[in-house]
Amino acid sequence: MPKLSLIIKADLLSGLRWARRHVYAWLILSPIVLGMTYLISTRVIENARDWAVPDFSLRPAAAIVVLTLIGTSLSRVAIELFGIGHPRSQFDALPVAQSVQLHAAIFIRAGRTLVLTMALLLIRQRLGGELASSIPLAAAFVALISLTELLAAITWVHWRHTQTVITAVSSLAILTPAVMIAGSLLSEIIASSHNESRLTPTSGGILAAAILYATLRQCHQRWRATDVDYAKRLLTAVKRAPLSSRLFTRRLSASAAAQLVRDLQLTLRAFSSAVYAAAGTACLLIAVEFVVINSRFFPFVFKMEGWLDLTWLPAAMAAKFACVLASATLASILPVLVGHELPHLWLERAAGTAGLDMFEAKLRYARLVSLPAPVAAWLIVLASSQIPISYAAPLLAECLFLWLLVSSFMGALAFETPERTGLSLLMMMLTGLALGLLSSFIWPIGLIIFGVASRSFTERGRMRARYLLLKGAD
Amino acid sequence: MSDWLLRVDGVTKRFGRLIAVDGVSLAIAGGEVYSLVGANGAGKSTLIRMITGISEPDSGRVFISGEDLSHRLPGTKRHLGYLPEELVLYERLTGQEYLRLVAGLKETDVGQIAGEIEYFELAAVQNKLVGEYSLGMRKKLGLAAAMIGGAELLVLDEPLNGLDVEMMRKLRERIERERNRGRAFLISSHVMSFVERVSEQVGIMKAGKIIAEGSPIELRALSGMADAQFEDVFFHLASGQGIGNSG
């Protein structure tokens, strides 16, 4: 226990010093971002107060959210667990028991999950639910989700290392019920209409967490030392790729093109599990668009009085929403990529790279990586035959404009808080979604915003990139 | 053979098809300095990572002070001090705070910290964040952390990288002093003059194997280059010339 407290104290002290050096981010930026999030979410909740989600769809949806959470965090959790690139990696050579290292990883993971759970509790309170009765449930959720993430990460690395079928099957056998129970707990936390006793799900969650803990401890004890080298290679892997920077040198400088090619190569080789999660979620959103269009689920009905009104056709709106959501989802890989590349920034510095080139590379990356979204969203609506053929080309133009708007503004924010991936992701998603969804309804507003604000956003992005090159992230 | 502080028995490590370390055996007694030399990718750092228990061999065993490392008992690591080649430190802890953390994890007297800070000339920067340290200062901090705890076996991977000449000399003197007190060293280095000067035993690694082993004088004799620079002796032996026995 004293060794665990020493490790945790070192991590906390380190985090605290980071916070002290970034007072601006905490005092100015965070209240703005958190305030915007709060206002938007409370507004959505207020509007959705009378909307009851049927039980049968809430639980699977919650399980999908949990699965996405696990998928998104897989690389990061593996890095935490094996201490890759972290001073904890050297504790293996010190008289520190493996269980202490595991407990430190659980503590760190639980701390991160706690933030998400507190946000969920806040939403629950806004929906009219009682906060006190949800706390044991939330504690069980934090424990269960943290342990599930850690077990998923360790079994993922072991399976990739050994490629044994038994590892894959046994992992799935344990993780699938864990995800379902976690999904069930999540739905209990956010469902406001439920007044029944929460003792059963809480007890179930705690029991599942205890089983997961015992399994995780066994796996960690058996596999950590054998898999640590493989994990290091897996999570910092560099392989060959066929992309050439000559593809981009017509529009970009050689330096920016080289950076863009590197970024695309890293993405194609899934530098982080966030790539899988973003691609999976984008596909899911396009699938939802298909279902919505073909089931005529869309709630808006407009009276069409002219050709321009076609922009508000339910099917067209569904396509535009899907385009914005999928574009933002795909572009959200960018902050993860920037965080991943930070330790290697010495290369750009040593090579005398200009901030402008660094910014241009990231901006183009955000656009390129999200380009499939408008095309897919448009093809789905076109195939459904629910829009007049004369409107096909204008709708494609609208989708492409929405993609350009979302990806450009998200790309411009790439270097705002490069060392805080979570904050950066939140800020970019909020900006991209707010602008994109607003412009989906009234595209001329989007045109005005793009014309007025894009230049200042771009200029700010260039300055941030230049600052990062000169001063560093920390 | 419990008088060996380190005994490595037929250790092998594979990365996919690549055999990084291939059946290596070696032994180091108390008061002995053993140096591992070899080209990049020869398997030195992989072998060291297995000796320090950071990674596990696919086959073979490592004994430290007679205790089998594969039992993963934390107590076994108390006999070990380690300076990794790739130093990853807490950037936002001060040098002194970092050493206190290491001392705490080694369950040793924090009173040693002041002595190590003084020896490695870190007094002026001990209250500065590690993130502000130069490469040389970081290396000195890593060396101080390895020395804390009075471990019998010290494993130093590339200890000279980033050190100035004066500190290199001080480190050599420290190694000689600690050796005389019965501590053993396993050193991986590319600086042949340093290796020749401090080592009782030198193992030349190539493609995961120890291809030649012996004292610097024995290696000179093996190569037939009595008066040449030790670097030339290394190149001669590493190229496979004049080697009758392999480790």
- For the segment A279-305, what is each residue's pLDDT rounded down to a tens digit? 888 888 888 887 777 765 555 555 556
B175: confidence class by pLDDT, cuts 50, 70, 90: very high
Of residues B71, B8, B15, the one with CA closest to residue B36: B8
- For the segment A65-75, what is each residue's pLDDT rounded down to a tens digit? 888 888 878 88
- Check whether A337 has a pLDDT greater than 90: yes
Query: What DSSP assignment string belongs to A305-348?
Result: -SGGGGGG-HHHHHHHHHHHHHHHHHHTHHHHHHHHHGGGTHHH
Mean pLDDT, range A97-110, rounded to an integer = 90
Stated pTM of the model: 0.69
Per the prediction, chain B carries an average pLDDT of: 89
How far is B27 from chain A, CA to nearest CA, in Å? 19
- Indicate the domain borders of chain A: 2-21+56-236, 254-471
CA distance A125 to B14: 54
B167: confidence class by pLDDT, cuts 50, 70, 90: very high
- Check whether B203 has a pLDDT greater than 90: yes
A55: confidence class by pLDDT, cuts 50, 70, 90: low
pLDDT of residue B110: 86
A238: confidence class by pLDDT, cuts 50, 70, 90: very low
- Check whether A32 has a pLDDT greater than 80: no
| B88 to A90: CB separation less than 8 angstroms, yes or no | yes
Residue bearing the bigger pLDDT, B243 or B108: B108
- Check whether B1 has a pLDDT greater than 50: no
CA distance A226 to A170: 19
Out of A99-103, A269-273, A303-307, the most confident range is: A99-103
pLDDT of residue A245: 57
- Check whether B33 has a pLDDT greater than 90: yes
Please state the φ and ψ torsions of residue B100, each to the nearest 5 degrees: -65, -40
From the candidates A7, A94, A230, A471, which should be mutated to test the interface with B, based on the most B CB atoms within 10 A?
A: A94
Q: What b/e sequence results for A390-401 when a residue is b if at least 16 CB atoms lie within 10 Å of its CB, and e otherwise?
A: ebeebbbebbeb
**Cβ B156 vs Cβ B146: under 8 Å:** yes
- The 3-state DSSP class for residue A417 equals coil
CA distance A255 to A388: 45
Residue bearing the bigger pLDDT, A37 or B203: B203
B247: confidence class by pLDDT, cuts 50, 70, 90: very low
Interface contacts (A, B; CB < 8 Å): 83
pLDDT of residue A244: 60
Question: Which residues does chain A have within 8 Å of residue B78's beta carbon, measured at their own beta carbons?
Answer: 95
Residue A242, classified by CB atoms within 10 Å of its CB into exposed (0-12), middle (13-18) or buried (19+), is exposed
pLDDT of residue A56: 56
Residue bearing the bigger pLDDT, A376 or A192: A376
Residue bearing the bigger pLDDT, A359 or A19: A359
Mean pLDDT, range B123-145, rounded to an integer = 93
From the candidates B52, B105, B148, which should be mutated to test the interface with A, based on the most A CB atoms within 10 A?
A: B105
| B82 to A97: CB separation less than 8 angstroms, yes or no | no
Residues of A with CB under 8 A from a CB of B: 2-3, 6-7, 10, 13-15, 17-18, 85-87, 89-98, 221, 225-226, 228-230, 233, 474
- The 3-state DSSP class for residue A249 equals coil
Residue bearing the bigger pLDDT, B152 or B70: B152
From the candidates B15, B46, B93, which should be mutated to test the interface with A, based on the most A CB atoms within 10 A?
A: B93
- Check whether B242 has a pLDDT greater than 70: no
Give me the residue from A7, A86, A228 closest to B88, CB to CB.
A86
CA distance B243 to B236: 9
Assign residue B133 a region (left: φ > 0; alpha: ψ between -120 and 50; beta: otherwise).
beta
**Cβ B199 vs Cβ B37: under 8 Å:** no
* CA dihedral sign of residues A154, A157, A158, A163: positive
Out of A76-90, A344-358, A432-446, B112-126, the most confident range is: B112-126
Mean pLDDT, range A409-429, rounded to an integer = 90
How far is B179 from chain A, CA to nearest CA, in Å? 21
Question: Which residues does chain B have within 8 Å of residue A226's beta carbon, measured at their own beta carbons?
Answer: 55-56
- The 3-state DSSP class for residue A26 equals helix
- Check whether B193 has a pLDDT greater than 60: yes
Mean pLDDT, range A378-388, rounded to an integer = 84
Residue bearing the bigger pLDDT, A7 or A24: A7
Residue bearing the bigger pLDDT, A290 or B101: B101
- For the segment B215-237, what is each residue's pLDDT rounded down to a tens digit? 999 999 888 887 888 888 888 88
- Check whether B69 has a pLDDT greater than 70: yes
A51: confidence class by pLDDT, cuts 50, 70, 90: low
CA distance A404 to A400: 6
- Check whether A239 has a pLDDT greater than 60: no
Give me the residue from A87, A93, A95 closest to B88, CB to CB.
A87
- Check whether B180 has a pLDDT greater than 50: yes
- Check whether A387 has a pLDDT greater than 90: no
Please state the φ and ψ torsions of residue B7, each to the nearest 5 degrees: -135, 125
3-class secondary structure per residue, chain B: CCCEEEEEEEEEEEECCEEEEEEEEEEEECCCEEEEEECCCCCHHHHHHHHCCCCCCCEEEEEECCEEHHHCCHHHHHHEEEECCCCCCCCCCEHHHHHHHHHHHCCCCCHHHHHHHHHCCCHHHCCCEHHHCCHHHHHHHHHHHHHCCCCCEEEEECCCCCCCHHHHHHHHHHHHHHHHCCCEEEEECCCHHHHHHHCCEEEEEECCEEEEEECHHHHHHHHCCCCCCHHHHHHHHHCCCCCCCCC
- Check whether A1 has a pLDDT greater than 90: no
CA distance B131 to B137: 10
Out of A30-44, A130-144, B50-64, the most confident range is: B50-64
Residues paired with residue B184 on neighbouring β-strands, in sequence order: B153
Mean pLDDT, range A189-202, rounded to an integer = 68
Please state the φ and ψ torsions of residue A252, each to the nearest 5 degrees: -125, 160
Residue bearing the bigger pLDDT, B208 or A131: B208
Mean pLDDT, range A234-262, rounded to an integer = 70
A266: confidence class by pLDDT, cuts 50, 70, 90: confident
Give me the residue from B54, B90, B101 closest to A93, CB to CB.
B54
CA distance A102 to A232: 17
- Check whether A159 has a pLDDT greater than 80: yes
| B104 to A2: CB separation less than 8 angstroms, yes or no | yes
- Check whether B246 has a pLDDT greater than 50: no
| Token pair recorded at residue A439 | 């412009």
Q: Is the ipTM of this complex over 0.85?
A: no
